Amino acid sequence: METEVWAKNMDAANLPPFEVCLLNNNMAVRRALENVHDALKPLSLCAEDSENIELVLAEVLNNVVEHAYPPSIKDGDIAIRCVHKDDGLHWKIIDEGVALQKTIQALGDPVDLDVAFDDLPEGGFGWFLIKTLAHDVSYTRQNGQNQLSLRIVVGETA
Amino acid sequence: MELETKTEERFKVVSVKDSRIDAAVALEFKDAMRAQTEEGPGVVVLDLSKVEFIDSSGLGAIVASMKNMGQEKTLALAGLTPTVARVFRLTRMDSVFKLFPTLDGAIDELRL
């Protein structure tokens, strides 16, 4: 009896799945990150977990805004879906832009800083941050949609 | 993108008043920094104590600002909040810049 009640409470502790939608522009990304932050409030995440989520999602969304939709499309839809499971927050970011041009495996190598001053990199950090802070990063393309999936662990101290 | 500046004899402090340097303002930040650093002292301290969030675009914009100043000048960063410091550490960009924990500490050291 007691085990059942405890198990029920554990299920209730997981946040119900939610979705945040936005259009493909930078200010919409800011608002979406705020909406995600608000949706996660019941979890009372520590600062570092919140930061990880914000940074990973910012990088993923920036990629979509920058590369998935061409500049002429101002109203491209992007959906962020979140499912809270025992092993962390499972995210799916879906858009209807052009397909990712590289495999996930090929993306996100550490950027080489051992270069001349004028060759110091001004970009290329995004995928590295995503793959460093998130687990199980994977990509599929179905029915004209890009779907990026990843998992962010929360509630553990480093 | 709001920058507040204070020029001393041998260095200039540029304080970022916005709380985010992200994709939305990266270009604006680069332009504003160029305007503030193309003339004046060879040492510029970028005060980031009000900045609570940077993404890779913001990081890139700061690197671009340093490169734009040229190798003869110095761009130091001061007052990084924990979140921002973490981004620099993760990308190992903390090895590329001179970092001061506080603006006061930066000013004290540069006035010597």
pLDDT higher than threshold 90 for residue A145: yes
Which chain B residue shows the shortest CA-CA distance from A50? Answer: B83
The answer to whether the Cβ–Cβ distance between A51 and B24 falls below 8 Å is no
Which pLDDT tens digit goes with each residue over B34-75? 999 999 999 999 999 999 999 999 999 999 999 999 999 999
Q: How far apart are CA A8 and CA A15, in angstroms?
A: 13
**Closest CA of chain A from B69, distance in Å:** 11
The residue whose two tokens read 């916005």 is B18
Q: Are A18 and A63 in contact (CB under 8 A)?
A: no
pTM of the model: 0.93
Q: Are A44 and A63 in contact (CB under 8 A)?
A: no
Q: Which residues of B touch A130 (CB under 8 A)?
A: none
- What band does A71 get if pLDDT is binned at 50, 70 and 90? confident
User: How far is the CA of A115 from the CAs of A6, A82, A121, B1, in angstroms?
Assistant: 56, 39, 9, 30
For an interface test with A, which of B91, B92, B93 has the most A Cβ atoms less than 10 Å from its Cβ? B91
Average pLDDT, chain A: 91
Distance from CA of A62 to the nearest CA of B (A): 7
Could you give the CA distance from residue A29 to residue A23 in angstroms, rounded to a whole number?
Answer: 8
Taking the CB of residue B64, how many other CB atoms lie within 10 A of it? 20
Contact B24 A128 (CB under 8 A): no
Residue A6 scores a pLDDT above 90: no
Q: Please answer yes or no on whether A120 and B63 come within 8 Å at the CB atom.
A: yes
Q: Tell me which residue in B23, B61, B96 faces A29 most closely, judged by beta carbons.
A: B23
Cross-chain Cβ contact B24/A47 below 8 Å? no
Question: pLDDT band at A74, cuts 50/70/90?
Answer: confident
Given a contact cutoff of 8 angstroms between Cβ atoms, the answer to whether B84 and B49 are in contact is no
